[in-house]
Amino acid sequence: MYLTLENITKIFPARGGVGEVTAVYNVNLDIEKGELITLLGPSGCGKTTTLRMIAGFEFPTEGQIVLDGNEINMLPPHRRDMSMVFQSYAIFPHLDVFENIAYGLNVQRLPKAVIQERVNRVLDLVQLQGYGDRAPTQLSGGQQQRVALARALIMEPKVLLMDEPLSNLDAKLREEMRFEIRRIQKELNITSVYVTHDQIEAMTLSDRIVVMNNGIIEQVGTPVEMYRFPNSRFVANFIGRANFVHGITQKQSGQNLVVKVFDEVIELLNIQRDFREHESVNLIIRPEMIRINKTGELFSGIIRRGVYLGDVIEYDVEVNGQLLTCVESDPYVMELFPNGEQVTVGFAEGCIQVLPEEENN
């Protein structure tokens, strides 16, 4: 393991001085060399605090941070061999692009020629050739973003930290920069920790995603694992959308589980957990796992809302008194079911995951 967080807890004194706030609680994380890991979660979940502890701006109240075999808990940021891309870019406003990028090398007092050469190389990498003498104010948001990235990359850091680097860009540019960052990260094989609250960003960029909530890690896994096999209701809801349907287990044999749902019995495939018989469970049914047809499906339902969105049609359909959100993505379908229409509803049994009821938080 290249970078390890062991039982990291961070407690801040509460604002106003009375009491304490636990920002991060008992976080364990192993990051491999060359891997890009995303910390994903809603605001206040502790992802930025975790990143700032890795950077050295905060020190853990408990636990250890180990980089390349050395404990770095109390090492100040400037001696950690990491670099960081900030949400606000934090470009030095009084220096031009070249001086901004060369800043870290100047701190190390490298010879002028070396600095010149390395800055030019990294300007090429982020496609800003010829922008060296521009003032930061003369750059667009995307260009400033590239300068911030270049300034971090030129240090050839052991770990590259990125704190919501794309959140100040407009949607189209953000998409472009996502691929750009991923390309450069792969090209340099640079170990990276990326903080974001945008699940699409996390899905696009990451080797692995860490979902955090209320200061703890909810789940760690590859984008596919996170979407297909969420461990908790929170993760299922945070990455993609999900309907939660109550069921009672009947019988499990290997990965096949028979569940009673809406008074009908269905058999689910690819189930990752073991369940007892007659256990109360929640089925995670994503909108695209629901089929709606006029006739022929197992359950009967009533259309309550239908919206044509272009690429898909989105319905709220009422089954046994519960509203389920589902999408129809067949490009040939152009007619919507009217509200109040009686339909039949079916589930993609091979994709549905099941969570025990008590994890109902």
Site residues, other proteins (CB under 8 A) = 9, 11, 13, 20, 22, 25-26, 28, 55-57, 59, 61-62, 74, 76-79, 82-84, 86-88, 90-94, 103-104, 107-108, 148, 151-152, 155, 161, 214, 216-221, 225, 229, 231-232, 272, 361
d(CA 194, CA 31): 12
Instruction: Tokens for 156, please give them.
Output: 């050839």
**93/338 with CB nearer other proteins:** 93
Taking alpha carbons only, the member of 223, 212, 190 closest to residue 48 is 212
**210/292 with CB nearer other proteins:** 210
Task: Give me the least distance between CB of 334 and other proteins, in Å please.
Answer: 40
Task: Give me the least distance between CB of 361 and other proteins, in Å please.
Answer: 7
Residue 102 near residue 115 (C-beta atoms within 8 A):
yes
Kind and range of the H or E run holding 360: none
d(CA 139, CA 131): 9
Taking alpha carbons only, the member of 152, 297, 322, 157 closest to residue 245 is 322
**57/308 with CB nearer other proteins:** 57
d(CA 57, CA 248): 49
Task: Give me the least distance between CB of 7 and other proteins, in Å please.
Answer: 10
Task: Give me the least distance between CB of 187 and other proteins, in Å please.
Answer: 21
Instruction: Tokens for 106, please give them.
Output: 């100047």
Taking alpha carbons only, the member of 267, 265, 211, 204 closest to residue 239 is 211
**70/108 with CB nearer other proteins:** 108
Instruction: Tokens for 289, please give them.
Output: 């796992």
d(CA 321, CA 171): 38
Indicate the SS3 state at residue 112. helix
d(CA 193, CA 163): 8
Task: Give me the least distance between CB of 262 and other proteins, in Å please.
Answer: 29
**132/356 with CB nearer other proteins:** 356
Task: Give me the least distance between CB of 108 and other proteins, in Å please.
Answer: 6
Task: Give me the least distance between CB of 218 and other proteins, in Å please.
Answer: 5
**346/356 with CB nearer other proteins:** 356
Task: Give me the least distance between CB of 211 and other proteins, in Å please.
Answer: 9
**91/317 with CB nearer other proteins:** 91
β-bridge pairing 191-196 and 159-163: parallel
- Alpha carbon 28 to chain centroid, angstroms: 17
Contact residues for 19 (Cβ-Cβ < 8 A; gap 6+): 13
**138/339 with CB nearer other proteins:** 138
